[in-house]
Structure 1
Amino acid sequence: MRLELVRVITLSITGFDAPLLKSGLDEAHVSLQTIETVLRPYMAHAGNDSVRRSLASCEAWLTDHRDFDTFDHLRFLTEHALPLQEQLGGMIAGMGLEINEKGVLNYRAKNIFSPDILNMNAFRKNAGGDSALTELGRKLFFETRLSANGTRSCASCHNPALHFTDGLPKSNGIHPGQATRRNAPTLLYSSFQHAQFWDGRSATLEDQVRAVIHDSLEMNGKPIETIRKLARSRSYRRLIRKVAPDRRDVNDTLVYRAIAAYVGTLKPFNSNFDRYMAGDRAALTDGQKRGFNLFMGKAQCGTCHFAPLFNGLIPPLYTLTEFEILGTTATDDLEHPQADADSGRFETRPTPYYQRAFKTPTVRNAAVTAPYMHNGAFASLEKVIDFYDRGGGAGLGLDVPHQTLAAEPLNLTDQEKSDIIAFLEALTDPL
């Protein structure tokens, strides 16, 4: 029942299952009626009127508000669905029925938008917050000696001052005048994924760090030699001894673990949107509220950028990271669209379904992390939204046989596009 309620909150009301039919609100209503039927004996046993009242208020709201394009998702969530989620959790705990505690969801969190809703251990083993390992990782993150010529570090492409991006379409590589293959996305919230890189070729952050350091275009490093040299220096000796008291453990794996541990801490959850969902009702402007409703409704953004991370982590189980085929163009000149040559996930998973498929990134901090897309070809959010509004590559007339984005136009007005951008600005975490 918990999972079904998460499904209602994150999928049904966004129209995920049938975005063109816009039948999600009716599905949500039936789901809530079913939840009520299943919970009826439990509510009677617990004598819990709060759950019953919240279920009734959710159903009543859905009965009175049937138009998908004008549905007020924000009010439904904050006034009805999220209180129901909190009260259901309290009833289950009060009855001693908390039997599933090993999944991705943390059922002790207040609701789906609480910063602690996802269990980090479900994404990384032993992600409990080893402070010494994290401190070492923070230092190594800025360590240029990990690169072959001592000029590049992780922070070269993921600058904290730029929300852990570099502001370039494609990052500068280790060789002068040679760029990397793809855009460097933000590292904020990157630990909440089951696949790393745009094409998902690495399953863990540790594997991603390993790949970047060894990549001949990016750092071309020899980490096992570097970490042993660093271990002899005064600035590193204390940190390394804390996490690797046995000299045999001072190896390249330590580098990958430490940097991954640091990246795992990059989950601030302190945007205006987060403040609003935590109870500060002055944190969002009217335009940002309208933008959220469009994002979750008519504009169909929430059918791929799933709440609460607004990335490709698929609810309600959150055990898979999604890849989409958008028909992304080589430039943001949509009047003269050209197909991008990058085959994406197909390179590592050679099936037609993955031809030109790329991981769905988070849009948290999207307002300050331009340029966009895997190729960095889109200079502004206005261009990105116009691309989606026109149905992606297929909607622009390109041949994209397996496009997962509907090719039909969304018919967004200029005001609606501005409101969506306003909402995305509300997802910016202050530095």
Structure 2
Amino acid sequence: MTLTARIGAAPMSGYQWLIVALCTFMNCLDGFDVMAVAFTGPSVTEEFGLNGSQFGLLVSVGLIGMALGSMLLAPFADLIGRRPLILISLALGTIGMFGAAMAPSVLVMGVFRLVTGIGVGGILASTNVIASEFSNTKNRGLAIGIYTAGYGIGATLASLVAKTTVAGDWRIVFYAGGFGTLVALVVIAVLLPESVAFLEQRRPRGALERINRTLARMGMDSASTSDLDASRAAREEAGQAESGWLKRLLAPTVLLWIVFITIMFGFYFVNSWTPTLLAEEGLSKSAAVTAGMAISIGGTVGSVLYGLAARFRPPRVVLIGFSLLSAAMMVVFILSTSVLWLGFGIGVIVGALINGCIAGAYTVGPPLYPSNVRSVGMGWALGMGRIGAILSPTIAGLLKDAGASATQLYVGAAVVVALCSVALVALRRHDPESAPAAKAPAAV
């Protein structure tokens, strides 16, 4: 049995939950980063004299950086390790946030937003894997749900900072983000260990000692050199048996890409444009930020709710329900914002549902792939999902400049989210957790 399999079968220790918490903390940076632009959107637009297309491009620059970070930096995690890549990415994020705070023009701000996005992309590509690798099989879905909730926590913090400074300097929000990223850099450098799976696979100098140090903190028996040799032999045998996976899994891969693209399209539209659209529809800046904050608050619990629901029904089925409900409640939300307390309450529901969809995509994807190509499959799915994230704010800006109202934009985004359910229905025959064979012992 490989060390990864041993961790998957053993009970979760407090130390493993600490690592999940550290990953959740880093995911907060993603939420804070995206919502820092969203909640300061009206002030940034006013200071730099931006139209809708220009503001949409400013939002998209950060998302493009995330895509570049995920696709270009992530491969280095398999060469130098997850931990060093995270530290490098945190350093980039710190530079980018402080740089955006001091930017004298929108062009300079855009450059630093790109740097921040690259850093956040590198962080997300590694922390998602670490949270999964340090979780056991029973609690992996819940751990990923908690990890995903970090986005909502970070977004809520950004909204609180923005709300206290809505009549003051918008740059304070980015200074706060830079300080938080700097704190994360120090904390991670002190507390986060290297992935056992990486050390087991790559076996750098001192790998066995580092593995046993981590296993001891997890309350597990130490490993030996023969254990590492056996793990390598098992991986090589599995790799030979599962060659040609791409051809066999082309259809579910394309369907999974559609799931990620549609969900991220709606997710980033809701989180990026809501305060600005509501402000331009007549709400005060404070009320617009409050409505946007409701979505962030809901996001802090939505992914955990999804994880709990997925313990009783197949994750794919739960995600179908979440995506359809998200689409419906997005329309209800934009129609109810004239009554602030009602809009706030529905906004919480929208945030919970759309954030739960993100957790669902992370959960539905991995079982589609053999273990030795799971990272490749999920990595490409995340990269393709960024297409939806990048297109969403840009298309919204173009449509807004063409005369589309906030209601029309929200309805359009809701239709895109609803399309996710179509891809998920088609994915049923490829999903091992939905197929009848999943009930057989051999497939458990």
With the length of structure 1 as denominator, give the TM-score of the two structures: 0.26
Of Structure 1 and Structure 2, the greater helix share is in 2
Task: Between the two structures, name the one with larger relative contact order (CA 8 Å, sep ≥ 6).
Answer: 2
With the length of structure 2 as denominator, give the TM-score of the two structures: 0.26
Larger of the two Rg values belongs to structure: 1
